Amino acid sequence: MKPRQPIIGLTTYERSGEVGFSLPAEYIDAVRRAGGIPVLLPPGEPHQHELLKLVDAVVFTGGGDVDPALYQGAQHEAVYLVDPERDSSEVELAQAVVEANLPTLTICRGIQVLNVALGGTLIEHLPDVVSGEVIHRDTPEGYVQHPITIEPTSRLAQIVGQTEVNSASWHHQAIRELAPGLKVVAYAPDGTIEALEMPDHPWLIGVQWHPESTAADDPTQQRLFNALVEAAVQQARQRSNHWSR
Ligand code: MN
Give yes or no: 108 in active site. Answer: yes
The DSSP code sequence of 133-153 is: ---S--SSS--EEEEEEE-TT
* Residue 136 Cα to ligand 1 middle (Å): 4
Q: pTM for this one?
A: 0.95
Ligand 1 centre distance from Cα of residue 55 (Å): 29
Tell me which residues have their CB within 5 A of the ion that is ligand 1.
136, 169, 188
Confidence (pLDDT) at 4: 78
CB 40 within 8 A of CB 23: yes
Ligand 1 center from residue 169 Cα (angstroms): 5
Residue 29 contacts residue 11 (beta carbons within 8 Å): no
Whole-number average pLDDT of the chain: 93
**How confident is the model over 77-121, as pLDDT tens digits?**
999 999 999 999 999 999 999 999 999 999 999 999 999 999 999
Residues contacting residue 209 through CB under 8 Å, at least 6 positions apart: 107, 108, 148, 167, 168, 169, 171, 194
Low-confidence ranges of the chain (pLDDT < 50): none
How far away, in angstroms, is 134 Cα from ligand 1 center?
9
Checking phi first, is residue 81 left (phi over 0); if not, alpha (psi -120 to 50) or beta? Answer: left
**Catalytic residue of the set 90, 171, 210, 230:** 210
How many angstroms does the Cα of residue 108 sit away from the middle of ligand 1? 9
210 as an active site residue: the answer is yes
Q: Which of 108, 136, 172, 197 is catalytic?
A: 108
Query: Distance of CA 234 to CAs 3, 52, 90, 231, Å?
Result: 9, 16, 24, 5
Segment holding 7, helix H or strand E: strand 7-11
Q: Note whether 115 and 178 are within 8 A (CB).
A: yes
242 assigned to active site: no
Tell how far the Cα of 19 is from the centroid of ligand 1, in angstroms: 28
